[in-house]
Structure 1
Amino acid sequence: MAHVLVIDDEIGIRELLREILQDSGYQVTTASNAAEANRCLKARRPDLVLLDLSLPDEDGLSLIRAWSNGSALRTPVVVLSGYASIDNAVEATRLGASDFLEKPIALDKLLKAVKRATGDAAARSQPGLFSAAPEWQPGNAEKDWPEWPQAVMGLPYREARLEFERAYFLNALAREGGKQIEVAARTGLERTHLYRKIKALGLRAALRRK
């Protein structure tokens, strides 16, 4: 049974997430601030962290930087973000967070994100499905690239392709700060086509239109 650490300063959200996740078969620990979260992490390493970026004692981005310490995150992190902090959510993804969920959180998106991040041990041992990949250079050997998480490799083709596309475009959005012109140039897509693709993949919140 996967163990999820929920970090949010709003008790209503913490308890709602606890109830939903426990009803779905997950073990859940909650923390209301960064200090409490760090104590929970020292006591027991979870399989997934759901992290609100706006905490009273330390912001979520600082926590992610501290946890990664310049290397890959050992535990997948899904950030929770209000509309005003979408830019921070994209930055968190660049730092290695697996995914982000915009508040108010839709139940189906929550459970899908948790299932992706806790799919199997291989996925949990990596920084996350949607973390930024190293820039490709001519001559890079295949061995230099991390294996695609087995949780994705075991999916039917259509679902695996969807997960790949979502990872690819979220990667591009994170690298370019969500700027549509730069993302279009990086991906080689016309801007209208890009916007439709981003919308279809459920990533519109991470896209700056200017």
Structure 2
Amino acid sequence: MVLLVEDEDGVRRSLQLLLAGKGYRVKAFSAAEAAIADPASRDAAILIADYRLRDSDGVRLLTALRQRGWHGRAILVTGFGSKEIDRAAHAAGFEAVIAKPMRHQELLAALRLPTA
């Protein structure tokens, strides 16, 4: 299952449809706290998180999930790309950082990255 956390409704729905069309089961949330609180989130193999969320950011979200014992793969998407965000994301454990607006092929390629 893919855990998708994106606060922009249109982007979240578009990504849900894309991923479901490629055969992924998707559990989507518009806020970090809701994703953290849902016990089903622990079953996700992959996290796709927006960097800037209404109630947090993707790096804090991944950190909180890791503190709760989650060990899946993670991909960060952001419209606010910078070297600082890239460094923080990789330090937190994100495998990839994808700039918005993203090409769907770029996200799908990141999902196929081999695990470390």
TM-score, normalising length: structure 2: 0.86
Give the C-alpha shift of residue 46 in structure 1.
0.6
Gaps of 5+ in 2: none
Mapped contact 1:64–1:92 kept (Cα < 8 A):
no
Give the C-alpha shift of residue 65 in structure 1.
2.2
- 1:24 pairs with 2:22: yes
- Match in the other structure for 1:95: 92
Moved over 4 A (4+): none
- Match in the other structure for 2:47: 49
Structure 2: distance between partners of 1:73 and 1:111: 22
- Match in the other structure for 1:85: 81
Mapped contact 2:78–2:98 kept (Cα < 8 A):
yes
Give the C-alpha shift of residue 56 in structure 1.
0.7
Structure 2: distance between partners of 1:112 and 1:32: 24
Check 1:73–1:100 CA distance in 2 against 1; reply closer, same or farther (3 A cut): farther
The structure whose RCO (Cα within 8 Å, separation 6+) is larger is 2
SS in 2 for 1:104: coil
Gaps of 5+ in 1: 124-128, 130-210
Give the C-alpha shift of residue 57 in structure 1.
0.9
Give the C-alpha shift of residue 33 in structure 1.
0.5
Structure 2: distance between partners of 1:64 and 1:48: 11
Greater helix fraction, Structure 1 or Structure 2? 1
Give the C-alpha shift of residue 43 in structure 1.
2.1
RMSD: 1.8
> Which deviates more from structure 2 when the two are superposed, residues 90-99 or residues 5-14?
90-99
Mapped contact 1:73–1:96 kept (Cα < 8 A):
no
Task: Provide Cα deviations, 1:141-172, integer angstroms capped at 9, x if missing partner.
Answer: xxxxxxxxxxxxxxxxxxxxxxxxxxxxxxxx
Check 1:98–1:73 CA distance in 2 against 1; reply closer, same or farther (3 A cut): farther
Task: Provide Cα deviations, 1:119-154, integer angstroms capped at 9, x if missing partner.
Answer: 6xxx3xxxxx4xxxxxxxxxxxxxxxxxxxxxxxxx
> Superposed, which structure 2 residues align to 1:9-158 within 5 Å?
9-40=7-38, 42-44=39-41, 45-69=43-67, 74-82=71-79, 84-86=80-82, 87-116=84-113, 123=115, 129=116
Equivalenced residues, count = 113
Task: Provide Cα deviations, 1:148-200, integer angstroms capped at 9, x if missing partner.
Answer: xxxxxxxxxxxxxxxxxxxxxxxxxxxxxxxxxxxxxxxxxxxxxxxxxxxxx
SS in 2 for 1:85: coil
TM-score, normalising length: structure 1: 0.50
Percent of aligned positions that are identical: 27
